[in-house]
Amino acid sequence: MPRSTVVRIDLDALRRNYQTALNRAGGAQVMAVVKADGYGHGIGPVASALDSLAPKFAVACIEEAAAIREAGLAQPVALLQGVHAEADIDECARNRFEPVFHSFQQLSWLERLEARPAFWLKVNSGMNRLGFHPDELAGVMNRLQAMSAEKGLLGFVTHFACADDPDSAMTAQQTSVFEKATSAFPGLMKSVANSAAHFHPDQPMFDWSRPGIMLYGGSPMVGKTGPELGLEPVMSLEAPLISTRMVPAGESVGYGAGWVADRDTRMGMVAIGYGDGYPRHAGTNTPAAINGQRIRLIGRVSMDMLAVDLGEVPEAAVGDAVELWGEHIPVDEVAACAGTISYELLTGVTRRVPRVEDGASTT
Ligand SMILES: *Cc1c(COP(=O)(O)O)cnc(C)c1O
């Protein structure tokens, strides 16, 4: 028998979250961002579950786009980092992958090829990671015309740096830089919105939005959990209680002996640790749940196990399932306890943990 440490994926919740994104997209079409193995949920099952809803997918790189085709899906797939080699452009053309070109090197690869994919241009509106500066756009467009590639151009993309913070002025600033930069080229599509932008009441959404984390029920907004934003958790991480004991007052638990019982405490060991992707930085008081009741971690997370305080749940017994995050414990809350964001926890569950999908059949 394998240990019962498991990730459960609720594909119906995923579909409802997609619908929430669509409702909040202000008439824009919604491409489902499924990079990083569907944010750790499994790109094949996730993309398949969205087949009847999503007219387009978005991923970071061409290997991820290929995984969508291997799952048997035919939608166009946007490659948010463009391509990393000239030969990949051919593959894009053959497979309806839509690279987002962000550099002059990528344009020079395009110049040398006959078969050209549909593509996007990335505009750097202020995040300063990737993209053409607004002043460079006219030159880029001339170059596309010179190589007769402008017909493949779908439109313009930009990405927000601070949309997780509704009080930041930067999102509106980036939107205005982007609108101004692209206004000289009418008739082309625009795409700006990550998940967070779906929660800004006045944000223009243009033609395509690009939600990622919200599809999986994680919160894109600082200080809010997914459920507080009307999103449903898609991933539940569960592990069994494998031992319980009384720790006498004054004794410690685990490595470093950092947590010391201030009274006789019934504690339990749970078969999951940082070797499974549970964050080692989640300290004492990080929440978990057993039989739907909240409990807390005590002491340090080890590679294969962690300790919980069972003082509030005397009926808890060896073999019971402990939820580390999911229905009762928002992943955002665990992430905050570990000094990180839900994105990192969801993408970080390791291959040691088997994934089980519910609701896989699509309509
Ligand atoms: C990852 C990514 C997204 C999705 O971001 P979320 O915050 O997960 O919604 C959108 N656009 C680009 C360019 C991305 O890289």
- Per-residue pLDDT tens listing for the chain (363 residues): 778 999 999 999 999 999 999 999 999 999 999 999 999 999 999 999 999 999 999 999 999 999 999 999 999 999 999 999 999 999 999 999 999 999 999 999 998 888 899 999 999 999 999 999 999 999 999 999 999 888 899 999 999 999 999 999 999 999 999 999 999 999 999 999 999 999 999 999 999 999 999 999 999 999 999 999 999 999 999 999 999 999 999 999 999 998 999 999 999 999 999 999 999 999 999 999 999 999 999 999 999 999 999 999 999 999 999 999 999 999 999 999 999 999 999 999 999 999 999 986 554
Residue 235: CB atoms within 10 A of its CB come to 26
Shortest-distance atom of ligand 1 to CA 343: 8
- As a whole number of angstroms, the distance between CA 39 and CA 135 comes to 34
Instruction: Identify the helix (H) or strand (E) that includes residue 33.
Output: strand 29-33
Q: Which residues of 335-358 are buried (b: 16+ CB within 10 A; e: fewer)?
A: bbbbeebbbebbbebeeebebebe
Angle at 66 between CA 61 and CA 72, to 5 degrees: 140
Ligand 1 contacts CB of residue 77 (under 6 A): no
Which protein residue has the closest C-alpha to ligand 1 atom 15?
80
The pTM score is: 0.96
- C-beta neighbour count of 90 within 10 angstroms: 16
Count of other CB atoms within 10 angstroms of residue 308:
27
**Of all atoms in ligand 1, which is nearest to the CA of residue 210?**
10
Crossing angle of helices 137-146 and 104-111, in 10° steps, is 10
Catalytic, out of 35, 39, 278, 343: 35
Give yes or no: 35 in active site. Answer: yes
Task: Give the orientation angle of helix 62-70 with respect to helix 87-95, to 10 degrees.
Answer: 30
Active-site residue identified among 56, 190, 224, 255:
255
At residue 191, φ and ψ (nearest 5 deg) are -145, 125
Specify the DSSP element, H or E, that contains 323.
Answer: strand 321-325
